[in-house]
Amino acid sequence: MLELKKVNVRYGAIQALKDVNLRVERQTIVALIGANGAGKSSLLNAVSGIVPYTGEISWNGKLLPHHPPAIVRAGVAQVPEGRQVFSNLTVYENLLAGAYVNWSKQRIEKNIERVFSLFPRLKERASQSAGTMSGGERQMLAIGRGLMSEPSLLLIDEPSLGLSPILTTEVLALIQQVNEQGVTVLLVEQNARKSLEIAHRGYVLQNGKVVMEGTGRELLNDPAIQEAYLGVSGCA
């Protein structure tokens, strides 16, 4: 279980997260929704140790260190949005980069096979530069790369950014598939409806604070959520 207790993040005078408490049960998908600047990415980055924070973050009962390499080694990997694949490296090298913390030939080969079976497209493009790929392919690569460290918890940031609705559905289905293989997922997604549909639970962040939580279905049916994030009142 991922547990955040009273987590605060500051950037100078701006407080990005205020006393955030949050839990993600093992092998579930939790969606984090909120407007731009609500603190969603800051929360993921705090867990990944790349922004300083106060408070406690633990995974499976153990406090996570603040050092990114140790966090990845502890089984917590982040999939940043697709533009953050290494476009100066080939697809294959991107996957190697994902395996940085467990650099052994056999494990790399095993994990690459696993990723290729999940995303056959990547296999075709293995020797191609990641910079030449389409948005959807980059997103797949980002997720595949995230799996290379054999994470038990995957933090996924905006997987649908820049994707068509069809591709978004496809990518979210893949995330569900990854989850069914036993990986816990904390998902930040601008498309609140689609992410809540696949999530077991959801949290709503507003101005750095958790303002609401519930199961995916509860949040989907909440009128306030519908108006603010699901575009039910007509401004899609």
Q: How far is the CB of 224 from another protein (least distance, A)?
A: 33
* Per-residue CA distances from 77 to 19, 66, 183, 217 (Å): 23, 14, 11, 27
Phi, psi of 158 (to 5 degrees): 45, 60
CB of 236 to another protein, least distance (A): 28
For the bound state, the minimum distance from the C-beta of residue 181 to another protein, rounded and expressed in Å, comes to 21
Q: Which is nearer to another protein, 35 or 96 (CB)?
A: 96
Positive or negative CA dihedral for 78, 41, 197, 58? Answer: positive
Q: 149: closest CA among 125, 191, 114, 192?
A: 114
Q: Name the residue nearer to another protein (CB basis): 19 or 93.
A: 93
Nearer to another protein by Cβ, of 108 and 211: the residue is 108
- Where do we find the tokens 């999939």? 79
In the complex with another protein, which residue's Cβ is closer, 151 or 216? 151
What percentage of the chain's residues is helix, strand, coil (to nearest 5)? 40, 25, 30
DSSP state of 83: G
Kindly tell me which of 77 and 210 has the beta carbon lying closer to another protein: 77
Are the C-beta atoms of residues 38 and 208 closer than 8 Å to each other?
yes
Work out how close the CB of 96 gets to another protein at its nearest, in angstroms, rounded to a whole number: 6
Length of the chain: 236
Minimum Å gap between C-beta 209 and another protein is: 25
Task: Tell me which residues touch another protein (CB under 8 A).
Answer: 48-50, 67-69, 71-73, 77-78, 80, 83-89, 93, 96-98, 100-101, 103, 131, 145, 149
Minimum separation from the CB atom of position 14 to another protein (A): 13
**Around 97, how many Cα atoms within 13 Å sit in the side-chain half-sphere?**
18
* Of 89 and 118, CB closest to another protein: 89
User: DSSP for 124-185?
Assistant: HTTTSBGGGS-HHHHHHHHHHHHHTT--SEEEEE-TTTT--HHHHHHHHHHHHHHHHTT-EE
